[in-house]
Amino acid sequence: MAAKSAEQDDLTSRQMTVTRVVDAPRELVFDVFTDPAHVSNWWGPNGFSITTDEMKVRPGGVWRFVMHGPDGTDYSNVIQYKEIVRPERIVFGHGDNEQSTSCHWHTTVTFEPVGRKTRVTLTLLFPTAAQRDAVATASAVEGGEQTLERFETEVAFAAARGRGETPFTITRVFNAPREAVWAAHSDAKALAQWWGPKGWTIRVENLAFKPGGMFHYVMTSKVAPEMWGRFIYRELVAPRRIVFVSSFSDPEAGVARSPFPMDWPLAVLNVVTLDDEAGRTRLTLTSTPLEATAEQRLVFAQMFMSMTQGFGGTYDQLAEFLTQV
């Protein structure tokens, strides 16, 4: 018994685990995890991107890719798949190359149904506890959590398309560089001058522009009661990508029901991308409900015309603001 306990303690000391529950059936979640077209959109911590040279998701198959860091550094990676049990489990080794006899770590990914959702768990097993500790001090857990958060974003839009839904999208080109458009999204004084529909005045209660941070605000007008709102930021990659979850709110910054007589989703996932176009900036906002009922998703789709008008007015104000900076 003591020997078994010591063996378990050794195993635990060499492991690192991150987990997340995503709102989609595990067959779809498994597909997003293993499809190169999806993987390129989410693999890696915030600010990283990848280029895949080869990805064969099968026992003995190899995934060779280059990870591009936010500072421009490239990192070559090779993953060898050991076990594939669709849609339950994936096991792979992470090494320097296919011929290498050493392995930095082995990863086991499990997909567990939780009602209509799926719990995704990544367990990394290192050769020694010292290697595990060395990686842990380099914020690997935080990187893993960011990776799964990016994964959840990709799953949400894939699930919407799988249900035959079209995410809300609006695009606008501003006569200003990306850095200026980014700054307008990240500064409380700037947001107070342009965020929200035309005819409304906004007061920023709090802005923590960082992953996990909150933008909490209240809007007032002469013709309607005040409305509170909040963003929770998920991913920020300056100056090109902002991911946040928006909700109606209250003075205490909690999530609140829509003030309108409709069953609006409690949370909406939003992705803002900023693309440089010869000194100008193309902004694209894409949105889809999170953890919503079928009726809420229908209401969201029925409001596309109104949302286009509302965001159109908001971005008119942003364009005007950018002429003044």
What DSSP character marks residue 305?
Answer: H
Domain with 175, as residue range(s), is 168-322
- Asked if residue 181 and residue 77 are part of one domain, the reply reads no
Within-domain flag for 309: yes
E strands present in the chain:
15-22, 49-55, 62-68, 74-85, 89-95, 105-114, 117-125, 168-174, 201-207, 214-220, 227-237, 241-249, 268-277, 280-289
Nearest to 289 by CA among 152, 196, 167, 117: 167
In a domain, 7, yes or no: no
Alpha-carbon span 260 to 164, nearest angstrom: 26
For residue 192, how many other CB atoms are within 10 A of its CB?
15
In this prediction, residue 141 has a pLDDT band, given cuts at 50, 70 and 90, of: confident
SS3 37: helix
Percent of the chain with pLDDT over 90: 83
| Residue 66 · residue 74 · CB < 8 Å | yes
Model pLDDT for residues 272-309, shown as the tens digit of each residue: 999 999 999 999 999 999 999 999 999 999 999 999 99
| Domain finish residue from 122, 143, 162 | 162
Q: Hey, what are 113's tokens?
A: 């149904």
Coil vs helix vs strand at 280: strand
Closest CA to 273 of 261, 263, 259, 287: 287
Q: Are residues 117 and 198 in the same domain?
A: no
* pTM, entire model: 0.89
Indicate the residue type of 322. L
CATH number reported for the structural domain that contains residue 82 in this entry: 3.30.530.20
Residue 5 lies in a domain: no
- Percent of residues, the chain, with pLDDT higher than 70: 94
Domain boundary among 108, 139, 162: 162
The amino acid present at 122, given as its one-letter code, is L
Instruction: Tell me, yes or no, whether 157 and 228 share the same domain.
Output: no
Do 125 and 186 fall within a single domain? no
Q: Mean pLDDT lowest for which of 33-37, 141-145, 183-187, 317-321? A: 141-145
φ and ψ at 315, to 5 degrees? -75, -20
In a domain, 74, yes or no: yes
Residue 1 lies in a domain: no
User: For residue 116, what are the CA distances in angstroms to 27, 51, 190, 245, 289?
Assistant: 11, 32, 41, 21, 16
Q: Is residue 221 over pLDDT 50?
A: yes
Q: How far is CA 57 from CA 33, 48, 84, 86, 245, in A?
A: 10, 22, 8, 11, 32
Domain count along the chain = 2
Reported as a pLDDT band with limits 50, 70 and 90, residue 233 is very high
**How far are the Cα atoms of 18, 149, 158, 265 from residue 21, in angstroms, in the given order?**
11, 10, 16, 19
139, amino acid identity: S
Asked if 152 contacts 269 with a C-beta cutoff of 8 angstroms, the reply is no
**Do 214 and 311 have their domain in common?**
yes
Q: Are 29 and 138 contacting, i.e. CB atoms less than 8 angstroms apart? A: no
Between 252 and 9, the higher pLDDT residue: 252
Q: Give me the mean pLDDT over the 43-62 stretch.
A: 95
Asked whether residue 33 is domain-assigned, the answer is: yes
Query: What is the chain's mean pLDDT, rounded?
Result: 92
| Ordered DSSP codes for 95-159 | ESSTT-S--SEEEEEEEEEETTEEEEEEEEE-SSHHHHHHHHTTTHHHHHHHHHHHHHHHHHHHH
Residues 155 and 174 in one domain: no
Same domain, yes or no, for 212 and 267?
yes
Q: Are residues 186 and 142 in the same domain?
A: no
Residue that finishes a domain, picked among 162, 177, 194: 162
Position 264 scores a pLDDT of: 96
pLDDT at 6 over 60: no
CA distance 209 to 220: 23
78 in the same domain as 216:
no
158 and 186 share one domain: no
Whether residue 76 lies inside any domain: the answer is yes
Residue 2 lies in a domain: no
Instruction: Identify whether residues 203 and 97 lie together within a single domain.
Output: no
Q: Are residues 229 and 113 in the same domain?
A: no
Question: Quick count: other Cβ atoms within 10 Å of Cβ 149?
Answer: 19
